[in-house]
Structure 1
């Protein structure tokens, strides 16, 4: 599960204070986010990053990396399939047009229109970013830390893939939900992706964002959708991970990590759109 977190206007309930040697426990069901219906032996490992703030503050100032040990287990395929069925399976009821497939039954009120607009804007921003990647080496070096031809080609190709996926003239390979039906919308999460299923889920806070932000490196619906689409292996291969959120962290990543970081693409697209 790969989320995009809200990075501004955070309140204390988004945070947990950890003292020396303290820890936080979180339980989750792998069968809710991965297709384990085949059963058998699997190996599980977790790694990622948690945004952090200074004590008693609510401004993100850093990130903490984590990586677990490996755990091998035997999965009962029948029980795993039952979990998937209980979570709603791959409900495609109400899928519309040819863009990234929207499950219309998951949308309420104006959410369908909002998501359609976000996909259209994401396509437009991605095409502009693809062109800029090929023509603006200084911006490539600022965000991706290199402007060598191989990186430029890969970045431009990925932006064009996102543009095609979010365009109404393409054949959608991802499934997009207006709302969460898998319990992944924790406090501070704008949207999240299940790469194993090429599924994207918007969270309530997504709809509090502007359609497009007029502030450099500000978050909005279009770049959040762009961010999430880079997490999908049907769109970007290998799919992007979350190795750094926000301009400060993104600008500190080395080239090898910047090109595989989802927020690098969303921030680059925002910068090109606004002329940052």
Structure 2
């Protein structure tokens, strides 16, 4: 099975917002409905949606142009988590969770504590966490990704067949494209050979 962002749900969901240049977008244009948001939460989530769209588009362009045919307004509902406690989310390490059958993503309090945009390879931020959760949505990515491994060190140990169906793979790939992470750089991440090959092959097209 070949790793490709052509099939990546977040790219397919969010890419239509952009043409050749990045433009501001509204909630309606993203295809994501927001619910249970305070005013400040709404602003933060909307900024993360824009970052997720930018990350997904860049990653899709670096691989193979994504298919936008499944884009539909309001397909996914994004719950800001107003009133949600960290224990509701299942523990301290959970940033957000996806309810694939309901096409809903719910933020946890810890999501608001991570940075809006990373500057080190291998980390996560609000936009990358959104990319992760969007890949779990059955309506926008088929088959939906699972959580075989979290974080870089565990992810790179997965066989390719699992890695392409692992949600954090897409975080790592999108973040690597965004920051220009390559093998041997001092940014702290060495991508798996198959991922580097995919990036290099598609960057040379």
TM-score exceeds 0.5 = yes
Q: When you count strand as a share of all residues, which structure comes out higher?
A: 1
Partner of 2:180: 275
Q: TM-score, normalised by structure 1?
A: 0.51
Return the index of the structure with the highest Cα Rg: 1
Partner of 2:77: 175
- Displacement of 1:185 in angstroms is 5.0
Q: Among residues 120, 139, 145, which one is paired with 1:215 in the alignment?
A: 120
Matches within 5 A, 1:1-276: 97-104=28-35, 106-134=36-64, 157=66, 171-179=73-81, 183-276=88-181
Cα contact 2:34–2:42 (8 A) shared by 1: no
CA distance in 2, matches of 1:181, 1:100: 24
Partner of 1:73: none
Superposed CA deviations along residues 53-85 of structure 1, whole A, max 9, x for unmatched, are xxxxxxxxxxxxxxxxxxxxxxxxxxxxxxxxx
- Displacement of 1:223 in angstroms is 0.2
SS of equivalent residue, structure 2 residue 102: coil
- Displacement of 1:180 in angstroms is 6.1
Q: When you count helix as a share of all residues, which structure comes out higher?
A: 2
Q: Report the CA distance shift for 1:230/1:247 in structure 2 as closer, same or farther (over 3 A).
A: same
CA distance in 1, matches of 2:42, 2:31: 13
Q: Can you give the 5+ residue segments of structure 2 that lack an aligned partner in the other structure?
A: 1-26, 182-205
- Displacement of 1:172 in angstroms is 2.9
Cα contact 2:151–2:168 (8 A) shared by 1: yes
- Displacement of 1:174 in angstroms is 0.8
Q: TM-score, normalised by structure 2?
A: 0.68
Number of aligned positions between the proteins: 151
Cα contact 1:129–1:268 (8 A) shared by 2: yes
- Displacement of 1:101 in angstroms is 2.9
CA distance in 2, matches of 1:185, 1:202: 12
SS of equivalent residue, structure 2 residue 139: coil
SS of equivalent residue, structure 1 residue 189: coil
CA distance in 1, matches of 2:149, 2:82: 24
Q: Report the CA distance shift for 1:257/1:186 in structure 2 as closer, same or farther (over 3 A).
A: same
CA distance in 2, matches of 1:238, 1:187: 28
Q: Can you give the 5+ residue segments of structure 1 that lack an aligned partner in the other structure?
A: 1-95, 135-155
Cα contact 1:100–1:176 (8 A) shared by 2: no
State the superposition RMSD in angstroms.
2.0
CA distance in 2, matches of 1:99, 1:215: 27
CA distance in 2, matches of 1:113, 1:221: 12
